Structures are given as structure tokens and as C-alpha cells.
């Protein structure tokens, strides 16, 4: 019954923590004898965690793309200036 003690889902939590918590909730759903209401609450919490983990992953991907573009632009600019 993980949701009973849940804290407000935060963007300050790491990707790994969100995924781990969502996995624990899903395992709990599979193993425990929960009421329908508890199961829905847990499922909703797991989805929220997965959504935040996905957002963190997308943000990180965008940062990497930005860094790669900046570095590639710097390399092409340096090559152009030295010719």
C-alpha cells in the first residue's frame, strides 16, 4: 500500500528514483490484495512517476543535443577560421 505514505511527487527526484518507485508500485499491484480504490491510487501514482521520469529523460536528451550542436558548431567555426 505504497500510496498511503506518498510524498508530493517532485521534479527534484532523480530519474532512477522515479523509475524505482514506479516499479515498486507495480510489483505491489501484482502481489498484494488491494481494494480497487487502493489499486487505482497506486496505478495513478506509478503513471505520474513514469511521466516525470520520461520528462527527465527528454530534458536530458535535449541537453545532450544542445551540447553536441554547440560543440560541432565550435569545431566547424574553428576549421573555417583557420583556412
CA 63 – CA 49 distance, rounded (Å) = 21
* Lowest pLDDT segment from 8-12, 33-37, 79-83: 79-83
- Quick: pLDDT tens for 32-60: 788 999 999 999 999 999 999 999 999 99
pTM score of the predicted model:
0.69
pLDDT interval class at 8 (50, 70, 90): low
Please enumerate in sequence order all residues whose Cβ is within 8 A of that of 49, keeping only pairs 6 or more positions apart, or say none: 9, 18, 19, 21, 22, 25
Amino acid at each position: 500500500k505504497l500510496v498511503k505514505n506518498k510524498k508530493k511527487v517532485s521534479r527534484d527526484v532523480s530519474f532512477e528514483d522515479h523509475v524505482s518507485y514506479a516499479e515498486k508500485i507495480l510489483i505491489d499491484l501484482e502481489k498484494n490484495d488491494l481494494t480497487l480504490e487502493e489499486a487505482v491510487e497506486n496505478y495513478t501514482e506509478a503513471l505520474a512517476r513514469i511521466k516525470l521520469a520520461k520528462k527527465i529523460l527528454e530534458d536530458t536528451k535535449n541537453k545532450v543535443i544542445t551540447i553536441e550542436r554547440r560543440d560541432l558548431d565550435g569545431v566547424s567555426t574553428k576549421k573555417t577560421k583557420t583556412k
